Chains A and B, each alone.
Chain A
Amino acid sequence: MPDKPSDLVQGTLDMLILKTLALEPTHGYGISVRIEQMSKGVFRLNAGSLFLAIQRLQRDGLIQGEWKPTENNRQAKYYALTAKGRKRLDNETREWGRQAAAIGRILEAS
């Protein structure tokens, strides 16, 4: 079923959210839309897992929320990366690259 969104690889959701927020602070819905767009519809976030991850990241002090009006003049909570969050994202991106390359090499070996 090509239209069914894939499950995320375990533990990568946090990284994706951090990456999204690194580009620009946004609210919960914005995060899920942006992840969907960037993955070209491969990942579709369930609200439960999204807000669970947001709460987790917030408690770990990686992101920070702030109520602000949207362009349609609605109140929404906008999240932004903290310094700690930025550092974590850098680390994880580097680590991910390393692992993905390694896995790729293994899968391509014949």
Chain B
Amino acid sequence: MLRNIASGLRSLFRKEHVDRELNEELRTYLEMASAEKIKQGMSRKDAVRAVRLERGSLEVTKEVVRSAAWESFVETCWRDLQFAARMLRKNPGFTTAAVLAIALGVGINVGIFSVLNGAMLRLLPIPRAKQIVSVDQTFHGRFQRDTHGETSMFSYAEYLDYRDHNQVFSGLLAYEPFIEATLAGGKLQRLLGTASTCNYFEVLDEHPAQGRGFVGSDCAAPGENAVVVIGDALWKGTFGGDPALVGKRILLNRAAFTVIGITRPGFTGTEPFPSAFWAPITMQKALDSGRDYLASDNVSWLAMLGRVRPGVTMQQVRADLAVIAGRIDQSHPGRTTSLGIARARFFSRADEREVLVPVASVIFAAFGLVLLIACANVANLLLARASVRHREIALRLSIGASRGRLVRQLLTESLLLSLFGGALGSVLALCSFASITRFVVSRLPHEFSTLTVNVAPDFRVLAYALALTVFTGIVFGLVPALKSSRLDLNTALKEDSAHSGEGKKGGLVRSTLVGAQIAVCMILLLASGLLLRGLYYAQTVDPGFEVKDIAGAFLNLRAQGYDESRATAFVQGLRERIAALPGVFEVAQAECAPLSHDWSADEFTVPGRTDKTGIEYNHVSPEYFSVVGIPIVRGRGFTQAEARNDATVIIVTESTAQRLWPGQDPLGKTLRAGNGYEATVIGVARDAQVSHLGQLNDPYLYYSAGPRDNLRTYVLLRFAGGYPTIAKGIRQAVHALDADVPVDINTVDDYLEVWRIPSRIVAALSTGLSGLALLLGSIGIYGMVSYGVSRCVREIGIRMALGADGADVMNLVLRQAMRPVLIGALVGMIACAVVSQVLSSMLFGVSAHDAIAFISAPLILLVVALGGSYIPARRAMRVDPMVALRYE
């Protein structure tokens, strides 16, 4: 094998020498053979002829021997490449157009792939990340389980079981991601942190840049060792790079922690949202507002990562852990667990993938469609050019080039084109997508804006770019190559170049390509039309309550160590101070502020019936309904006397009443909550979209808020005048009562804005994409029509000579041009009507078959298509019959 390659390389680089040797050898052969014949009495000439007859032509032999070796394949490729480069250089206009179209198509696809790669495919940014696997679980059958985080996470008892009984890990760690904590002192600051087992840094092989990581004794007993490791960003930012921070004490959620270490720059934990600090898992209760998860063995709250022992395969890991899972299931009859085990990446838990994979595939498909349009465009350009090169190809076929050889050569040309385009596009994408991603992420709702995605190219991105480029080159090059190499030589050579070329069939291929572009354009346009309509609706929707001039101040007093009576006193004092602020009309309280992405739900039953209804609920103070402007349409609102936690009264919405007691008077009816607590309906409130924007008719009910609700509450107020003054007043009021309590102040308009952001981003994205698609599509139409016109100059000339006027010609050209456009548009509309269901979750209050979008998008497309064909059609109109007939 090696010798073969060496010898092949030798003949590649010493081609002349090798050729001479073969020549020499064959000549000797011929001479020896003919010498034999001469000896038998033939003349020299006859002898040579006889040898050739017997042994075959030596020229052919040379060719056979030469082309059998692999290096000759390389050599013809190289010749093709040189030829292709020459052809591309000769047509700079065509080459530029094609390269730009491919660069655009490939570029945005490589860009979006680099984002997905950074978010979901890269291994964790830690040493020897290949050995780290993530473990998550899915339950089947009958089970009851509490969740704090994601359902696929583990309880502490389960973690201990896996840690102590597995044979495959050199270390298994668990952590609670996304702990929200307030850092007291100076400026109050909210942080996202991690509570981890004490082998965390050891298993990850991460060593803090200063101080130390956790050691086993830090986790010896619950609540004992209040130590914390601080992230590099927090140290440099909030603590200003304090060189003596290690050893100092900081307050997190009111508990004192001693800083024992600072991580290396760049280590932000094992989640895509950077962690600001790490505390031992045994300190969970102090951080999580007094709730104790360590003791419960049936709550999902821990993510697990293990470092696999060297030499252990993934199959072994799966088999080993499945045994442990099976044993745990035995103490939960009726429940079976399946484990998800994979190399650890960001977003690798089943719950996360379930959400992200469909979204990612829709985005991917949309970007792919633009590439498809670009391909169709370039294919069309190639087809147009192929008919110009008609004679060249016919000539080469007639002097003996095989069809396969010709296809190979044409494909080399298109591959060269796509390589240029792909390289240009990829470089541009890789340079720009880092900043584009940062920009988009910074526009995401607050809680997602810290998301970090490493979009830097790795081998996967490069491989993807290369594969996409080659694929593109073949996709747009194959049809033109196959088509233009299938020629009828006789007619091709006889025809003149002016109007030689494809007949009807060629026109069909080209119109099909344009039609396909239009169809894809249509899908993208309609999708973005629907999304824009949804956005418009979200901007202008009347949610059924007062949105303007209402603010909410969120307080989580439980997290600050308050008990019920202290919290009640605090909130009471705060409400009085706020009510006294100038410009504040009325103050109320609610468990969930309208549209704040905060909600509670339960399963309710009507006593005497068996069916359960899932209903969202809210605990509100009596003033709530007048502050947010929701009228009570029947019965009455809550009274101050009912502001107790044991008040058995509820207010339902109209549609809840309609659903539960159709045609009956809801007043006086009772409803039983999931925990058996029964309450009587005393009033009916008008429907309002207080929980989810766009959901008007979902059932909803209100409880009366009691003292217990003060532990975690929104104080709502209606105000007039400048919001900044009000917000400042509220903040001062809170800090006058307790300087360490953090408060979140927003207007309801702000809450509403968060609902609009996803649709705003998606709408911007799809509008941009469909703009690109439209641009490419109109260029495609323009190219097709102007090419068609240039080929029909003579036909047009004859028609005009026979009496047709400009309008007739224009008609003819436009009619021909519009047929593929109309068919494509129709196909696109049908396809979009089918897929728009996918978008429906993004479309607040807009039907997936919204009439306005389905009328305006085709109109835009038609106008653009007409514009694209009008310019060349005008040229056709101006054809001078005398010139046209003499043409050629």
Interface residues of A (CB under 8 A from B): 27-29, 32-33, 44-48, 51-52, 55-56, 58-61, 70, 72, 74-77
Contact = CB atoms under 8 A, between A and B. Distances in A.
Interface in B1-60: 3-4, 7-8, 21-22, 24-26, 28-29, 31-33, 35-36, 54-56, 58, 60
B26 A47 contact: yes
Contact of B65 (A55, A70, A74): A55
B69 interface: yes
6 contacts: A52-B65, A55-B68, A55-B69, A59-B3, A76-B28, A77-B28
Nearest to B63: A48
Contacts of A48: 56, 60-61, 64-65
A58 B69 CA distance: 12
Contacts of B26: 47, 51
A11 to B, nearest CB: 16
A47 B24 contact: no
Interface of B: 3-4, 7-8, 21-22, 24-26, 28-29, 31-33, 35-36, 54-56, 58, 60-61, 64-65, 68-69
**A-B CB proximity, top 9 nearest:** A29-B32, A47-B55, A48-B64, A48-B61, A59-B4, A47-B61, A76-B28, A29-B29, A46-B56
B56 A47 contact: yes
Contacts of B24: 75, 77
B475 to A, nearest CB: 37
Nearest to B65: A51
A27 B35 CA distance: 15
Nearest to A84: B3
Nearest to A72: B35
Given A46-B55, A47-B56, A48-B61, A28 B25 contact: yes
Contacts of B3: 59-61
Contact of A51 (B7, B25, B35): B25
A76 B8 CA distance: 22
Nearest to A46: B56
Nearest to B60: A48
Contacts of A77: 21, 24-25, 28
Contact of A47 (B7, B29, B31, B68): B29
Nearest to B58: A47
A1 to B, nearest CB: 15
Contacts of B21: 77
Given A27-B28, A33-B36, A46-B55, 17 more contacts: A27-B32, A28-B25, A28-B29, A29-B32, A44-B54, A45-B55, A47-B26, A47-B58, A48-B56, A48-B61, A48-B65, A52-B64, A58-B7, A59-B4, A72-B35, A77-B21, A77-B28
A99 to B, nearest CB: 26
Contacts of B69: 55, 59
Contacts of B54: 44
A45 B51 CA distance: 12
Contact of A29 (B4, B33, B65): B33
Contacts of A28: 25, 28-29
A75 B22 CA distance: 13
Contacts of A29: 28-29, 32-33
A75 B28 CA distance: 8
A15 to B, nearest CB: 19
A38 B206 CA distance: 77
Chain B CB within 10 A, most for which of A32, A44, A47, A58: A47
A51 B31 contact: no
Chain B CB within 10 A, most for which of A28, A58, A59: A59
Contacts of B35: 72
A51 B61 contact: yes
A59 B7 CA distance: 7
B769 to A, nearest CB: 53
A56 B64 CA distance: 12
A83 to B, nearest CB: 14
Contacts of B68: 52, 55-56
Contacts of B32: 27, 29, 70, 74, 76
B488 to A, nearest CB: 33
Nearest to A51: B65
B54 to A, nearest CB: 7
Chain B CB within 10 A, most for which of A27, A29, A75, A76: A29
B870 to A, nearest CB: 62
A19 to B, nearest CB: 20
Contacts of B56: 46-48
A3 to B, nearest CB: 11
A60 B5 CA distance: 10
Contacts of A75: 24, 28
A43 B285 CA distance: 93
A52 B36 CA distance: 23
B793 to A, nearest CB: 52
A32 B29 CA distance: 10
Contacts of B8: 59
Contacts of A56: 68
A18 to B, nearest CB: 17
B61 A74 contact: no
A45 B61 CA distance: 12
Chain B CB within 10 A, most for which of A48, A58, A77: A48
A14 to B, nearest CB: 14
A60 B4 contact: yes
Contacts of B58: 47
A70 B33 CA distance: 14
A55 B64 CA distance: 11
A88 to B, nearest CB: 14
Nearest to A77: B25
Contacts of B55: 32, 45-47
Nearest to B55: A47
A28 B36 CA distance: 14
B529 to A, nearest CB: 64
Contacts of A55: 65, 68-69
